[in-house]
Chains A and B, each alone.
Chain A
Amino acid sequence: MFDRRLITHFDWPLLLLIVLTALIGIANLYSATSSWSTLATPVYIKQTYWLSGGILLAAIVSFIDYRHLQHLGYIFYGLTLLLLAAVLLVGKTSMGATRWLDLGFFNLQPSEIMKIVIIIALACYFARQDTLAGYSFEDLWIPFLLLGIPAFLIMKQPDLGTALIVLFIGFTMSLFAGIRKGTLTVLAILAAGGAGGGWFLLHDYQKQRILTFLSPERDPLGSGYHIIQSKIAVGSGGFFGKGFMKGTQSQLSFLPERHTDFAFSVFAEEWGFCGSLLLLGLYLLIIIWGIYVARSAADLFGTFLAFGVSAMLFWHIVINLGMVIGLLPVVGVPLPLFSYGGTSMITTMLGTGLLLNVSMRRFTF
């Protein structure tokens, strides 16, 4: 039985925000890669394909009632864990990291799926508990276990960026679910200790990145180069920017990874502070809108689902921007809707689908 209210309550403004941002992203990719002499399909065309596919996917996801997921959450979780384990055993290695499963027609990256699946799994857990007083250690060991296993497996690939995103999503959802003050204090102390201990678990290149972040001039031609060139690109944009396709840092290839992780630097160089502000505003609006969807959700599961997706987008945006403007170490986290890449687009649009899903069913009770 199709509910006509689903159409009338469809969250057009959210979709519009998402599509608008993605279109700006595609224009930016056009500029960033215009100097490339390619025989293959240009990057911005491919990104357009991904966006179109993503919108379709979001539409499909939004029309399957999210409440069914509450029964499937742990099953998805278990299956995705198996995939992550499979990556470590038979995964495809590229550039020193093993992150993909070769499915013949498609390289599947299970860690990306895990970002969405962990949201569903934690939403399942927190939605079933009634803890107005907040969670204690006894309540939290299950969600932490749910988080810890995939984070560990992803870290092993190694993929520090994705592992961090998964952990951040989980912690943000846990905080939102409510943690007792005493427990929170102990957790904070443990986290601080863990960060210190975690240093020794990092790969050399990861340590290098963090050291380089703290002082990029340590290695201006090596790992510090990215941060330095990105800051130059952003800073030299000034107030009005150098103009579309006129950014020398990007057009003359001084900026590395300018179509993926450093896409924002290209934008900031060409559109200046004005453009950056507009884009920042769009992203903030998307996050706030997500939180609003969570708040107006018809049930607690929907609330946690929408909140988790907002958290996922938030951390991606903040880590990526923080990284390209020199506030955070370079960890390889894409900027949603802006960085080129099918995986990132699909994950973002899956999340968008979930948000639309929760949003359009807020009046169904």
Chain B
Amino acid sequence: MALNTGWSGSPALKKRFIIASLAALAVFVFLFLRLWYLQIIQADIYQALSEKNRTRYIPIAAPRGPIVDRDGHMLVDNRPAFRITALRQEVEEPEKMLTRLAELLALDLEILQERWAAGRRFPRYRPVPLADDVSRQALERVMEHSYELPGILTEVRPVRFYPHGESAAHLFGYLGEITEEELRAAPYQAYHPGDFVGKNGLERGIEQYLTGIPGERRVEVDVKGKKLRILKTQEPVPGNRVTLTINRDLQLATEEAFGDQAGAAVALDINTGEVLAMVSTPCYDPSLFARGITGKEWVELLHNPLDPLQNRALKGQYPPGSIFKIVTALAALESGKATARTKVDCQGALTVGNRSFRCWKKGGHGVTDLKKALKESCDVWFYEVSQQVGIDRIADMARRLGLGEPTGLGLAGERQGLIPDQQWKQQKFNDRWYRGETLIASIGQGYILTTPLQLATMMATVANGGTVLRPYLVKHIEDMAGETQQQTQPQIVRKAHLNKSQLDALRRGLEAVVNEPHGTAWMSRIKELPYAGKTGTSQVVHQRKRREKDAEIPYRLRDHALFSAYAPAANPQIAVAVVVEHGSHGSSAAAPIAKAMFDSYFKLQSPTESGAAEEN
């Protein structure tokens, strides 16, 4: 039954077998070459890809550097805080999970939903932060119900801790989650979504020193991103330790002296420009930001009429009032239009043209020289001499003393104040300068605006003999190994080129303000520490009725109280400026705060106390 057997042995068929075998061989050689290409030639590339597949880098947050005062007292530290996060790829029913979590944490569901939605920016394997700084009890509740919450993770993160509560919060600023715009900006190249960065104050100003280097944990994961084992851990490097120029005790004493009044105070070392204290009240609680401020809390802070977010020490601009008489006096002496002996008979007002310019003392001061004019803050003496001197010389002196420009402290948002002159008025209002305006300017009213920081700088310049120093907050920065990363040296902005005898004449007047009867700050004198200063009252409402008592005026319309001083008078070390918003009188509201500051500052250094400490 053989079929076509003769065919099978034919040469044609033999040829086809050979062709078929060779074709099969050729195809296999092709497969072989492809394997050679993948497994030998490109092995490295694919090995790298397979490593990338199986490993995840989980960042470990680096603690930010601590901030201490000049003596090493802790001002800003870190504490561990629990954070609840969720792995997106493991959460199957987000709504259900968020609802349950909101119940367990007693949190607003909307907040959780918002944060969950924000997590879409993250890579899928990166946990989405849902709740920060949850209490241990809340954390335990969540852990107990973890079976209902697949994909929920907890981590411990360092967060900012403030041992002195609200104290100096404006200086430190606060942290917040990095924004999209910041992520695109050059200084934040190494940051990731969800990172915390300094938003203002020092936290922002010296961010690059405070932020450490995050560590990372290399873990092996499966395709679902489930952690299988830790391959390697790179510990984070904490941020640098920052030593401020601030004196903690002085800072706290100043804040205490303010009580619940609004305002600002600055204390400077007159020889270096170091900021010894910088107070702005009211303040906010920086720990709100550390744990993640809620929308409601933020809105409350924003809309608080007392504006607690504003650092008044460098952003508040106030007419300096009679403190400005220092400038007018120096300008007058330098121009030769007046001397210390120049006498003016104050009858309670001076008439220029058809307008009468009143002295604060209705009955007048009688015959007044420079010292008396400063001591009792006679307005008429300054009205009189300012007419001779002219606004431009006064403005020039003000600028030489550091007014009308930012001091260069280095914190964002510092305001420059305003020192008007003829040119300025022409440009601003297209109008000429009137003589009467010189009079008003001479006693620090009118257009003139200064910040408390500028006033302190001016006073320090007067105290140190005419050197304008740039105030600074950061004394030095060192890494965790103790290596110095940055050391700030005193920096001279300019020499004011003041004549020594003229300066002495001015200083005698300033000493009399505090230390002689009838001096406007006589009530705030310190017996064992003669110091020098100048009170000021800046009018909030110009048309105020004279007879009205302070208590009868609404708070918002009361005058600001100012005082600037340096101590000790004979051998100055520290200069202060105090502004009490709506405090009415420099003598009664601002000077006592300066007195409290000196009390605190010099008590620390008094020989009796340190001697007693040594004996113990």
Contacts and interface: CB of A to CB of B under 8 A. Distances in A.
B609 interface: no
Contact of A288 (B7, B24, B38, B45): B24
Given A128-B3, A299-B5, A238 B43 contact: yes
Interface in A246-273: 248-249, 252-254, 268-269, 272-273
A307 B20 contact: yes
Contacts of B51: 248
Given A248-B53, A248-B54, A325-B34, A300 B42 contact: no
Interface of A: 35, 67, 70, 127-128, 130, 132, 176, 178, 229, 231-239, 248-249, 252-254, 268-269, 272-273, 276-277, 280, 283-284, 287-288, 291, 294-295, 297-301, 303, 307, 314, 318, 321-322, 325-327, 365
Interface in B23-54: 24-25, 27-28, 31-32, 34-36, 38-40, 42-43, 45-47, 49-51, 53-54
User: For chain A, what secondary structure do more than half of its interface residues adopt (helix, strand, loop), or is it mixed?
Assistant: helix
Contact of B28 (A130, A268, A280): A280
Given A280-B28, A307-B20, A268 B35 contact: yes
B35 A325 contact: yes
A235 B43 contact: yes
A314 B24 contact: yes
Contacts of B36: 273
A232 B50 contact: yes
Given A253-B222, A280-B28, A300 B47 contact: no
B186 interface: no
B24 A234 contact: no
A288 B21 contact: yes
Contact of B38 (A231, A252, A291): A231
A70 B2 CA distance: 12
A253 B38 contact: no
B24 to A, nearest CB: 5
Which one of B7, B35, B39, B221 has the greatest number of beta carbons of chain A within 10 Å? B39
15 contacts: A127-B3, A128-B4, A130-B4, A130-B7, A229-B53, A235-B38, A235-B45, A236-B49, A249-B53, A253-B223, A254-B223, A268-B35, A273-B36, A288-B25, A325-B34
A284 B12 contact: no
Contacts of B616: none
B47 A235 contact: yes
Nearest to A228: B49
Contacts of B47: 235-236, 238
B46 to A, nearest CB: 3
Contacts of B38: 231, 234-235, 325-326
A130 B12 CA distance: 13
A273 B35 contact: yes
A42 B595 CA distance: 86
B34 A297 contact: no
Nearest to A301: B3
Contact of A232 (B7, B32, B46): B46
A239 B40 contact: yes
Contacts of B223: 252-254
B486 to A, nearest CB: 46
Contacts of B2: 298-299, 365
B17 interface: yes
A322 B31 CA distance: 7
B339 to A, nearest CB: 86
Contacts of B224: 253
Nearest to B1: A67
B28 A273 contact: no
Contacts of B21: 288, 291
Contacts of A288: 21, 24-25
B228 A127 contact: no
A254 B54 contact: yes
Nearest to A297: B8
A300 B39 contact: no
Those 7 A-B pairs whose CB atoms lie nearest each other, nearest first: A235-B46, A236-B50, A273-B39, A253-B223, A238-B43, A252-B222, A236-B46
B220 interface: yes
A238 B39 contact: yes
Interface in B204-233: 220-224, 228
A258 to B, nearest CB: 11
B549 interface: no
Contacts of A326: 34, 38
Nearest to A132: B12
Given A231-B38, A291-B24, 6 more contacts: A232-B50, A234-B38, A234-B39, A235-B38, A277-B32, A288-B24
